[in-house]
């Protein structure tokens, strides 16, 4: 639903930059022979030459369009070069395009707040940069104006074609202009400079719109393509919007746009002007009514968000017609590929950007086998995200099954009888609610002391943690209030706690999942953390985590399991916890082990929150861990302990940087005391099965 936001100022300078025929440019950079030739990028599916997804401007001159398939494009342009999207795991692999988009964003973000809006689009707030230029080097003081600036299109300027450049130059440099226009003129200089820089550093051209808000800038960026820029002076807003078909406006392509056309006879944005704000509010509600009233006048207060990284990661595939997926095996096969890709991308994001995603969402579309089904959409579902291919796959499958159950039951209800057939034509998973790992001054102690959650049982997990999501917008999927609370803790303290849990979860689950899979498979057991009494030596050697007066709390980051009574036991055993518990060694057995002399810490349990005291809160991510454990609920449990002198420093390197130092500090004295570490071993060493088991 559109949100009506008042303009914070009508003299902001906002740019929308859109790459030209982006995938084609990326392919032409990879294969320079394609430059200057009519080129299109086609989808992996080779039927009829594959569907075109990007068409170069040379090919557009021949009438080639994105709606065509390769064969049709060849018939209108026999010389066309068709490049197939790279393929991995049996589906399109967009990573080269994504990475190319990131190169561009890195350049564009140099001059102001930058919001990556899609794989090839960016919004920039250049207000400060424009104000600075206006006060220090106003356009009229610039001696040699670059051609790229002079080539700008300024809406509302009328000139004979031969005079256009001179007219634009005069508009850019007018001394007595309205300040808003002067700022836009500065914006034109800055954007031209950025575009030239993008070309120089990446070989890509882009087009841009420069206006006082995002809506107008976006409308303008597509008006003159490729490799051009368009400025929307305040005075030209009305003439820009007046004839614009209403359905071309963002958020008016769907139901709302239809209603405006069918119910109010509004076909262009200008048609909206005849309706008062009250009338629009009566009809569409206060918020949407005001939003419509605003857009008719070019008012849009949306801020450029500071975001250069993607908001979510998603992967999926369509299975049209007879290719639709009809069995759980087929679904699992594809979800397995998607999970692998998503896990890789999440790990890369964690590694490069220190970000973690919190929500996993599954979207699917089903073919309509009967009338009842045609009324019903396959519901999107989401749950807390757990890192590691296997965990993502497991959760995605559960989400699919929850969605399918609901889809079939509602279909059969509507039909009044059983409804067996189903076919999935579109399947995807995405990871959203991505947050930064807190950095810098945050100490691990702070995280420990901000733990304020307890684990839900697996039943609780099943009931609470699968949620409906809004089909097209995983990040805004509807959530139950309990879930919302879990994912958006209100206090800073609990927020950090959640993040720490996530961090631990990532580090350890990923390793358990992907690096010690063999162990899990061989032993057919689950890791289980048991509360063990600390030995004297353990106490002596233990890092002084409780120096802040509370038992340190570390949650189940190793996808560990424990029962309620184990929890109770844990509460009683003070002073034994440490992050070091996360490093499990080969010292595991199928029964609970007594700690050995040199064991510093037993596998640890949790305590109550030292922060908010919200004892009823649950930890979404770890709940996943719990549930995972229930796969092997009847199997023997394994208590795992570590020997501090066997902890490989490489393991520490794999923790988030923020906590590495602290962990190293704990390890140092141990190393001196007993220098038996086998260097060069990897974390897998600590997960390898006990040969004596």
Residue 19 in contact with ligand DCP, rule: CB under 6 A? yes
Backbone angles phi, psi at 437, to 5 degrees: -75, 130
**Residues in contact with ligand DCP, shown as a per-residue x/- string from 427 to 456 under the rule CB under 6 A:** ------------------------------
Interacting span for ligand DCP (CB under 6 A) from 16-24, 147-155, 254-262, 491-499: 16-24
Query: Which of 379, 377, 346 is closest to 363 using CA atoms?
Result: 379
User: How far is the C-alpha of 543 from the C-alpha of 650, rounded, in Å?
Assistant: 19
Least distance between ligand DCP and beta carbon 423 (Å): 23
Least distance between ligand DCP and beta carbon 53 (Å): 4
Across 567-635, the runs of DSSP E, i.e. the strands, are: 587-589
Indicate the residue among 338 and 687 with the shorter CB distance to ligand DCP: 338
Least distance between ligand DCP and beta carbon 113 (Å): 22
- Look at residue 179 and give its three-state secondary structure: helix
Interacting span for ligand DCP (CB under 6 A) from 14-22, 258-266, 354-362, 624-632: 14-22
Cβ neighbours of residue 501 under 8 Å, at least 6 residues apart?
Answer: 451, 453, 555, 557, 619, 621, 622
Indicate the residue among 35 and 522 with the shorter CB distance to ligand DCP: 35
User: How far is the C-alpha of 616 from the C-alpha of 100, rounded, in Å?
Assistant: 45
Q: Is-contact 290 280, C-beta < 8 A?
A: yes
Indicate the residue among 54 and 240 with the shorter CB distance to ligand DCP: 54
Interacting span for ligand DCP (CB under 6 A) from 18-26, 127-135, 486-494, 560-568: 18-26
Q: How many residues bind ligand DCP (CB under 6 A)?
A: 12
- Quote the crossing angle between the two packed helices 164-173 and 179-202, to the nearest 10°: 120
Least distance between ligand DCP and beta carbon 66 (Å): 6
Indicate the residue among 208 and 651 with the shorter CB distance to ligand DCP: 208
Sheet harboring 81-84: ordered strands across?
52-55, 39-42, 81-84
Sign of CA dihedral 49, 55, 61, 67: positive
Least distance between ligand DCP and beta carbon 115 (Å): 16
Q: Is-contact 550 574, C-beta < 8 A?
A: no
Indicate the residue among 19 and 385 with the shorter CB distance to ligand DCP: 19
Interacting span for ligand DCP (CB under 6 A) from 21-29, 237-245, 401-409, 446-454: 21-29
131 in catalytic set:
no
User: How far is the C-alpha of 361 from the C-alpha of 396, rounded, in Å?
Assistant: 8
Query: Which of 457, 434, 437, 455 is closest to 447 using CA atoms?
Result: 437
- Look at residue 682 and give its three-state secondary structure: coil
Q: Which helix (H) or strand (E) holds 637?
A: strand 637-641
Least distance between ligand DCP and beta carbon 119 (Å): 6
Least distance between ligand DCP and beta carbon 555 (Å): 40
User: How far is the C-alpha of 182 from the C-alpha of 233, rounded, in Å?
Assistant: 9
Place of tokens 């769907």: 254
Site for ligand DCP in 192-251 (CB under 6 A): 225-226
Interacting span for ligand DCP (CB under 6 A) from 13-21, 75-83, 148-156, 463-471: 13-21
Interacting span for ligand DCP (CB under 6 A) from 12-20, 184-192, 209-217, 546-554: 12-20
Q: Which residue is at the shortest CB distance from ligand DCP?
A: 54
Least distance between ligand DCP and beta carbon 589 (Å): 52
Across 78-163, the runs of DSSP E, i.e. the strands, are: 81-84, 87-88, 91-92, 113-118, 121-125, 153-154
Indicate the residue among 53 and 150 with the shorter CB distance to ligand DCP: 53
Considering just the CA atoms, what is the radius of gyration of the chain in Å?
Answer: 29
Indicate the residue among 204 and 378 with the shorter CB distance to ligand DCP: 204
Q: Is-contact 107 202, C-beta < 8 A?
A: yes
Indicate the residue among 66 and 671 with the shorter CB distance to ligand DCP: 66
Of 13, 18, 91, 584, the residue at the interface with ligand DCP (CB under 6 A) is 18
Indicate the residue among 20 and 605 with the shorter CB distance to ligand DCP: 20
Altogether, the residues listed in the chain come to a count of 693
Q: Is-contact 620 501, C-beta < 8 A?
A: no
Interacting span for ligand DCP (CB under 6 A) from 17-25, 171-179, 477-485, 641-649: 17-25
Indicate the residue among 16 and 433 with the shorter CB distance to ligand DCP: 16
**Residues in contact with ligand DCP, shown as a per-residue x/- string from 360 to 389 under the rule CB under 6 A:** ------------------------------
**Residues in contact with ligand DCP, shown as a per-residue x/- string from 43 to 62 under the rule CB under 6 A:** ----------xx--------
3-state SS string for 374-440: HCCCCCEEEEECCCCHHHHHHHHHHHHHHHHHHHHHHHHHHHCCCCCCCCEEEEEEEEEEEEECCCC
- Look at residue 668 and give its three-state secondary structure: helix
Interacting span for ligand DCP (CB under 6 A) from 19-27, 366-374, 539-547, 640-648: 19-27
Least distance between ligand DCP and beta carbon 30 (Å): 14
Least distance between ligand DCP and beta carbon 100 (Å): 10
Sheet harboring 637-641: ordered strands across?
526-528, 637-641, 587-589
Least distance between ligand DCP and beta carbon 165 (Å): 24
Residue 20 in contact with ligand DCP, rule: CB under 6 A? yes
Residue 27 in contact with ligand DCP, rule: CB under 6 A? no
Site for ligand DCP in 102-121 (CB under 6 A): 119-120
Indicate the residue among 91 and 433 with the shorter CB distance to ligand DCP: 91
Residue 298, number of CB atoms within 10 A of its CB = 22
Of 13, 21, 198, 232, the residue at the interface with ligand DCP (CB under 6 A) is 21
Query: Which of 93, 89, 121 is closest to 108 using CA atoms?
Result: 121
Least distance between ligand DCP and beta carbon 97 (Å): 7
Kindly write down the DSSP assignment for every residue of 18-50, as one continuous string: EESSHHHHHHHHHSGGGTTS-EEEE-S--GGG-
The upper half-sphere exposure of residue 442, i.e. CA atoms within 13 Å in the direction of its Cβ, equals 21
Of 12, 15, 22, 260, the residue at the interface with ligand DCP (CB under 6 A) is 22
Strands 206-211 and 380-384: unpaired
27, 58, 121, 341: the active-site residue: 121
User: How far is the C-alpha of 73 from the C-alpha of 647, rounded, in Å?
Assistant: 60
Interface residue list for ligand DCP (CB under 6 A) = 18-23, 53-54, 119-120, 225-226
The catalytic site residues sit at: 121
């Amino acid at each position: 639903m559109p949100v009506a936001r008042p303009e914070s100022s009508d003299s902001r300078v906002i740019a929308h930059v859109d790459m030209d025929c982006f995938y084609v440019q990326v392919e032409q950079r990879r294969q320079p022979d394609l430059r200057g030739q009519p080129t299109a990028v086609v989808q992996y599916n080779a039927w009829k030459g594959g569907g075109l997804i990007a068409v170069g401007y040379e090919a557009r001159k021949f009438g080639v369009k994105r709606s065509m398939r390769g064969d049709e494009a060849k018939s209108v342009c026999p010389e066309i070069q068709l490049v197939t999207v790279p393929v991995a795991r049996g589906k399109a692999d967009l990573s080269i395009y994504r990475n190319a988009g990131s190169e561009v964003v890195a350049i564009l973000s140099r001059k102001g707040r930058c919001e990556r809006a899609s794989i090839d689009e960016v919004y920039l707030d250049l207000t400060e940069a424009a104000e600075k230029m206006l006060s220090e080097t106003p356009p009229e003081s610039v001696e040699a104006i670059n051609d790229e600036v002079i080539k700008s299109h300024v809406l509302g300027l009328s000139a004979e074609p031969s005079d256009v450049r001179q007219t634009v130059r005069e508009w850019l440099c007018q001394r007595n202009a309205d300040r808003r226009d002067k700022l836009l003129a500065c914006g034109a200089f800055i954007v031209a400079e950025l575009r030239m820089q993008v070309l120089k550093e990446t070989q890509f051209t882009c087009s841009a719109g420069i206006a006082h808000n995002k809506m107008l800038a976006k409308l303008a960026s597509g008006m003159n393509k490729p490799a051009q820029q368009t400025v929307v002076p305040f005075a030209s807003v009305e003439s820009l919007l007046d004839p614009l078909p209403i359905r071309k406006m963002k958020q008016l392509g769907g139901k709302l746009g239809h209603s405006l056309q069918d119910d109010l006879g509004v076909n262009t944005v200008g048609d909206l002007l005849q309706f008062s704000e009250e009338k629009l509010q009566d009809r569409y509600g206060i918020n949407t009514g005001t939003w419509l009233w605003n857009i008719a006048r070019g008012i849009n207060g949306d801020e450029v968000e500071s975001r250069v990284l993607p908001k979510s990661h998603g992967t999926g595939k369509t299975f049209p017609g007879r290719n639709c997926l009809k069995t759980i095996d087929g679904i699992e096969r594809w979800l397995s590929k998607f999970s692998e890709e998503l896990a890789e991308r999440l790990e890369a994001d964690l590694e490069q950007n220190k970000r973690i995603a919190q929500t996993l969402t599954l979207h699917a579309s089903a073919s309509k086998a009967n009338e009842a089904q045609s009324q019903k959409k396959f519901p999107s579902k989401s749950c807390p995200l757990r890192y590691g291919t296997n965990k993502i796959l497991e959760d995605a499958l559960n989400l699919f099954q929850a969605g399918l159950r609901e889809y079939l039951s509602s279909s059969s209800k509507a039909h009044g009888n059983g409804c067996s057939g189903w076919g999935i034509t579109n399947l995807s998973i995405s990871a959203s609610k991505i947050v930064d790992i807190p950095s810098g001054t945050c100490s691990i102690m702070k995280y420990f002391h901000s733990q304020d959650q307890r684990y839900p049982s697996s039943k609780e997990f099943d009931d609470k943690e699968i949620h409906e999501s809004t089909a097209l917008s995983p990040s805004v999927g509807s959530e139950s209030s309990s879930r919302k609370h879990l994912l958006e803790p209100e206090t800073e303290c609990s927020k950090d706690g959640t993040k720490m849990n996530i961090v631990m979860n990532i580090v350890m689950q990923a390793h358990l999942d992907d690096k010690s899979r063999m162990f899990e498979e061989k032993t057919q057991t689950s890791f289980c953390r048991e509360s063990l009494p600390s030995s004297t030596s353990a106490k002596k050697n233990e890092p002084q985590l409780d120096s802040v007066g509370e038992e340190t709390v570390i949650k189940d980051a190793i996808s560990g399991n424990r029962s309620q009574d184990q929890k109770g036991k844990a509460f009683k055993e003070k002073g034994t916890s440490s992050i070091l518990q996360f490093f499990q060694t080969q010292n595991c057995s199928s029964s609970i082990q007594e700690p050995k002399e040199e064991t510093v810490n037993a596998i640890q349990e949790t305590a109550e929150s030292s922060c908010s005291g919200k004892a009823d809160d649950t930890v979404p991510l770890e709940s996943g861990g719990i549930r995972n454990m229930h796969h092997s609920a009847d199997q023997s449990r394994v208590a795992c302990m570590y020997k501090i002198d066997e902890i490989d420093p490489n393991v520490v390197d794999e923790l988030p940087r923020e906590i590495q130092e602290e962990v190293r500090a704990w390890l140092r004295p141990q190393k001196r005391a007993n220098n038996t570490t086998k260097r060069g071993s990897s974390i897998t060493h600590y997960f390898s099965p006990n040969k004596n088991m």
